[in-house]
Chain A
Amino acid sequence: MHIDWAGLGEVALVSLLFGVGLAVLFAVGVTAMGRRAVALDEKRPPAMLDTAVASLCFAACLAAVLYGLYLIIPQFH
C-alpha cells in the first residue's frame, strides 16, 4: 500500500496559497470598494488609491476564475 503523502502535502499547500490568497485579495478589494462607496455617498471624489487597489484586486480574482475555467475545461489542454 502506497500513500502519496507528498501529493497530499502539495495539494494542501497549493490550496492554502490559492484559497487563502484569493480570500485576502477579495477582502482588500471589497474594503477599497467600500471606501469608494462612502466617498461617493458623501459627494467627495473617491481616492485614486482606493480605485487602483480595488481594480487590481478584482482583476487578480478574475484572472484566478479564468485560470479555474482553464483547469476545468479539458478542451483547453
Chain B
Amino acid sequence: MDLSFLVVVVIITALVFDFTNGFHDTANAMATSIATGALRPKVAVGLSAVLNLVGAFISTEVAHTISSGLVDDAKITVPIIFGGLVGAILWNLLTWYLGLPSSSSHALFGGLIGATWIAAGSGAVNFGTVVQKIIVPAVAAPIVAGVVALLGTYLAYKITARARKRSVDDGFRAGQIASASLVSLAHGTGDAQKTMGIITLVLITSGTLAQGSRPPLWVIFAAGMAIAFGTYLGGWRIIRTMGKGLTEIESPQGFAAETSSTAVLLASSHLGFPLSTTQVCSGSILGAGLGKRLAEVRWTVAGRMALAWLFTLPAAAVVGALSGRVANSGNLGVALIAVLALLAGGGLYAASRRKPVTSANVNEYPSTPAASSATASV
C-alpha cells in the first residue's frame, strides 16, 4: 500500500474529527440521565461508548458522497477534505471549551463548503441545498423536539401528580436508561459511518482502493474506536450545560426529553428529513424545562447555544477555507496547517485545565466561583 504523506495526514485528521465528534455528542444521549442520577456519570459515558462502537459496526450503509450534495463532489480534492476536517475539529474544540453543544456534522459541512469555495469558486457550492439541508432543519429541529418534549413533560407531571414521588422518580429513571441507550446506538450508526465514508473516499481518490469499494475492516474498526473513545472521555463541559445549565432536570423531564429526542431522530432519519442530533436533543431539553410549571429555563444559556449554531457553518467555513488553501500548496502547507491545528487544539485543552469539568463536578452548576465566572465570560 503506497500512501502519500497527505493521505496519511488526512486519515489521522479524520480520526481526530471522529474523536471530537464522540466527546462533543456524549451530552446528547447522556446529559439528562447524568443530571437526574439515572446513571452515574462514568457508567453513562461507558454505556454510550459501547453502544457507539456497536453502532459503528452494524451500520452498513456507505456514504457515496462526502458532502451530501452541499458542494459539487467532483470538485472535492484531498486538500479540501483536509481543510474541511481542520475547520470542523477546531470549531468542535472551541465550542467544547465554551461548554456549548453544536452539531459536528454542520461543522464538517461548514469546513468543506469553505474549503471548496476557495479552491473551486462559489459556483461549486450549492447554496439552495445548504438552505434545504442545513438551515431549514436547523431551525425546525429544536422546535419540533421542543414541542414534543414540552407536551410529554406537561402530561407526565399531570398524570403522575398524585402518585408517590419515590415510585415516580424511580420509574422514570429506569425509563431514561432505555431511551438514552437508543440515542447512543443511533448516533454510532450515523456518525461513525461519516468518518468511515471520508476515509474510504480519500483512499479511493488516492487510488489505494478501487472505485465503489466498501470501507476496509481497519477503517471501520479505527472509526468505531475513535468515536467510542471520544464518547467515553465525555465532553463534561457540554454535558454540564445540557444537563444542568439550560434548566434543572428532574427524572420525568429527563424521560420526556429523551423520548422526544429518540422519536424525532428516528422519525427524521426514516422519513427522509434528516435533523441534527445536537439540535434535536437541545430542543428536547428546553421543551422539558418549559413543560414543567414554574421550572426555570436559563434563556441566556439557550441564547448562547443558538448563537453557536448560527456561527457553526461560517466559522468552520473560514477555517476550512484557509486550511484548505494552505494545504493545497503541498506537503509543507499540510504540515504547517497540522502543526497550527495541534497548537490551537493544545491551547484550548490547556485553557480548559484551568477550570476543569470532570465526572466529579459535572452536576454542579454553577460549580465554583471560578467556574461561574468562566461561563459568564463566554
Contact = CB atoms under 8 A, between A and B. Distances in A.
A15 to B, nearest CB: 4
Interface stretch (B196-204, B261-269, B326-334): B261-269
5 contacts: A10-B273, A31-B159, A33-B167, A38-B164, A69-B182
Interface residues of A, number: 38
A27 B140 CA distance: 27
Given A34-B164, A69-B185, 20 more contacts: A1-B128, A2-B132, A3-B136, A8-B136, A15-B263, A20-B152, A22-B263, A23-B151, A23-B260, A24-B152, A26-B171, A26-B259, A27-B160, A30-B167, A31-B162, A33-B171, A38-B164, A65-B182, A72-B55, A74-B60
A8 B147 CA distance: 14
Contacts of B60: 74-75
Given A7-B271, A37-B167, A68-B262, A15 B156 contact: no
Contacts of B262: 19, 68
B273 A26 contact: no
A49 interface: no
Interface of B: 55, 58-61, 128-129, 131-132, 136, 140, 144-145, 147-149, 151-153, 155-156, 159-160, 162-164, 167-168, 171-172, 175, 178, 182, 185-186, 189, 252, 255-256, 259-260, 262-264, 266-273, 275
Interface in A25-70: 26-31, 33-35, 37-38, 61, 65, 68-69
Interface of A: 1-4, 7-8, 10-12, 14-16, 18-20, 22-24, 26-31, 33-35, 37-38, 61, 65, 68-69, 71-75
